[in-house]
Amino acid sequence: MILPAEARHDRDGPRNRGRGQGGRLVKFGWVLPGRGAARGVSGFARLVPRWQPAIIRSCLPVPGDAGSLREMSELRHECGIVAVYHWLGDEVSPLVPGGDPNSASRLVPRMLIDIQNRGQLAAGFTTFNQERNQLIDTHKEVGSVAEVFHLNRQEAYEKLMREYAGHAAIGHVRYATCGKDDRSYAQPFERHHIEKGKWFSFAFNGQLANYPELRDEILSRTEFHLARENDTEILMHSICLELKGDRHPGIVEMLRDLSQKFDGAYNIVFLNAVGDMFVARDPLGIRPLCWAKEGPLFAAASESVALSNLGFSAESIQSLPPGHVISIQNGEFQISRFAETPRPAHCFFEWIYFANVASTLDGRNVYLSRAALGKKLALRETVPLDSETIVVPVPDTAKAAAAAMAFELGLPCLEGLMRNRYVGRTFIEGKNRADKARTKYTPVPEVMRNKRVLLVEDTIVRSTTMRALIRQLKSRGGAREVHVRVACPPIVAPCFYGIDMSTVKELFAPRFMPDGRLTPEVEEAMARELGADSLKYLRIEDLAECVDKPPETLCQACVDGNYPTPAGTRLYQLAIENDRCGAESTGLERTYDVSATVRPAASACDSGNAEAAPSIPAVTGGEAKSR
């Protein structure tokens, strides 16, 4: 068997392949922290058992990158995926450029543009063409979709599209918080093999919450090696192991075996050198996945907007049910169940924050969900409403909620805060939060001067952006009052299923809610901390109604602490314990970067002072009713 590894396209992998994140030497089931991690723990380097998660998610910051990450208060999604397949034959889809089935691969950059909201760090695609030596070939790079595919340089774009022409293709956009802007972390991941059925490429959206256990299982074999500390490589190795030797499992059989090993969110698009393709959604359906088929053309994407903008009719676009796979083998199209779904656990954040507002996910339109959030916020409003009161959204994802809230209250919804959409990923943002906010957002004093502003935001995570915005609205915008309205309940817990989320310690809300209850008094204390005149959150019990889903079919772990998988529950308990014991002072910036057993000297846990470091309870009963 050829050991699973990316060949030609990832020969420029990360430096120091024998080392893990942060310069920690990985060997024989133990992790030796670097000097920075050892300081603050004791005068000696500690050995940490490998089963304790040194890095538990696909994209966590290395210690050297933590400072810049702390300054980012916006949530980031991990990635988005697409796939396209055109059957060869006499019939050609009118959606394919030039009437050529091998131009189907040209649809991928267009689809990725439409889901660029899910990732701006890197992009790529793999195409299949049986007429070329490189049966499957991968192009990927760090940058936006326009940069990676040369969409602003016609000659370079045409050359790239000719080189990678094919009737089947998969694509990926990535956002991540781990490591550097390294091409080797970009997807798809391609694995070369002399046997065509074992030469494959895949892309992945989600996060394996039991990554540490999967990693240790692989590394328990001394002849195996992992070049990257992420769960995408774990997934690649796991697929390779399913295909090892003389085994030739069917797609459903392989996914059924993998589903029994994986805990978390994993949507996969897969293409091999035979021309077989599959598109799979994990048994809980945590992340969205949509598909459509018209005539000889099939396409799939993380969001429906990518399919509708290609030209598929609304009637053709569907969501793939959890635990199901669409496979195309020997030209035959089939939808199969590979795993039972104990209960769906759709991430509610997809509707209120991440997804394109034009998308429809699992039968529910994103815009309608956000408008419903705004209507619920309107019902909670208590400030005096007069001709000097206006509603202002924080662009862009809060616009729908703000407009609906303003309509219900009979107030004008004005764009008093403008977002610079052309800053992109540049060095000019500055080093501190205030610089970043000034670069990204511009208040309009002609709109807000001497006004009572109801500032609508989709969520508050770390609060750094919100603090800066409130100061700007008052000092630069001239607002007389700023009342913050949040179209989401308080974020009280990390996410282990594919969202860049902070530690418990870095989250804004938990320290104000020691008993897990949100009361008017708690909201008043939060408002004082932010510098706002008042603050109101959406209630947990309103979420399911706004998304138009039964609450038992949603994952709301980040707002109620109830995780839908065993590994997620274990990691949350670890995060709480690390926060209670001050594990962040070890130099690792996430509470779940290190085990709770690695405690700094003289911590509150060691002193036995329970009040010095209270545990953070899960919010199990919803928020307290306003009195």
Secondary structure of 147-181 as H, E, C letters = HHCCCCCHHHHHHHHHHCCCCEEEEEEECCCCCCC
Distances (CA, A) of 562 to 52, 519, 626: 22, 20, 23
Biggest alpha carbon distance in the chain? 77
The percentage of residues in the chain with a pLDDT greater than 70, rounded to a whole number, is 77
Q: What is the per-residue pLDDT across 101-157, written as a single tens digit (0 to 9) for each? A: 999 999 999 999 999 999 989 999 999 999 999 999 999 999 999 999 999 999 999
Catalytic site positions: 79
Q: What is the per-residue pLDDT across 509-549, written as a single tens digit (0 to 9) for each? A: 999 998 889 999 999 999 999 999 999 999 999 999 999 99
What number is the average pLDDT over the span 559-581? 91
Share in percent of the chain as helix, strand, coil (round to 5): 30, 20, 50
Model confidence at 562, pLDDT cuts 50, 70, 90, reads very high
Q: Which two tokens stand for residue 226?
A: 């992992």
Pairing verdict, β 122-128 and 48-49? unpaired
Instruction: Give me the pLDDT at residue 380, please.
Output: 95
Distances (CA, A) of 207 to 185, 255, 385, 472: 14, 16, 45, 36
Cα 458 to Cα 390: distance, rounded to the nearest angstrom: 17
For CA atoms 434, 147, 278, 256, give the dihedral sign. Answer: negative
What number is the average pLDDT over the span 311-329? 98
User: 496 vs 38, which has greater pLDDT?
Assistant: 496
Phi, psi of 583 (to 5 degrees): -65, -20
Cα 210 to Cα 574: distance, rounded to the nearest angstrom: 13
Cα 188 to Cα 401: distance, rounded to the nearest angstrom: 35
| Domain boundaries along the sequence of the chain | 76-342, 364-560
Residue 74 pLDDT more than 60?
no
Instruction: Give me the pLDDT at residue 78, please.
Output: 65
Cα 556 to Cα 608: distance, rounded to the nearest angstrom: 32
Cα 35 to Cα 503: distance, rounded to the nearest angstrom: 22
Instruction: Give me the pLDDT at residue 569, please.
Output: 94
What single DSSP character describes residue 19? B
Instruction: Give me the pLDDT at residue 423, please.
Output: 65
Cα 148 to Cα 160: distance, rounded to the nearest angstrom: 10
Of 134-143, 334-343, 407-416, 595-604, least confident by mean pLDDT is 595-604
Instruction: Give me the pLDDT at residue 182, please.
Output: 80
Residue 255 pLDDT more than 70?
yes
- Which segments within 215-331 are labelled E, that is strand? 264-272, 277-280, 290-294, 297-301, 318-319, 324-329
Residue 596 pLDDT more than 90?
no
76-342 maps to CATH 2.60.40.1120: no
User: Position 393: which residue type?
Assistant: P
Residue 194 pLDDT more than 90?
yes
Confirm if 148 and 90 have CB atoms less than 8 A apart.
no
Instruction: Give me the pLDDT at residue 112, please.
Output: 98
What single DSSP character describes residue 329? E
364-560 maps to CATH 3.40.50.2020: yes
Mean pLDDT across the chain: 82
Instruction: Give me the pLDDT at residue 126, please.
Output: 98
Instruction: Give me the pLDDT at residue 420, please.
Output: 85
Report which of 377, 346, 347, 352 is spatially closest to residue 366, judged by C-alpha positions. 352
For CA atoms 509, 511, 516, 522, give the dihedral sign. Answer: negative
Q: Of 15-29, 292-306, 571-585, where does the model show the most confidence? A: 292-306
Q: Which two tokens stand for residue 420?
A: 């610079």
What number is the average pLDDT over the span 419-423? 78
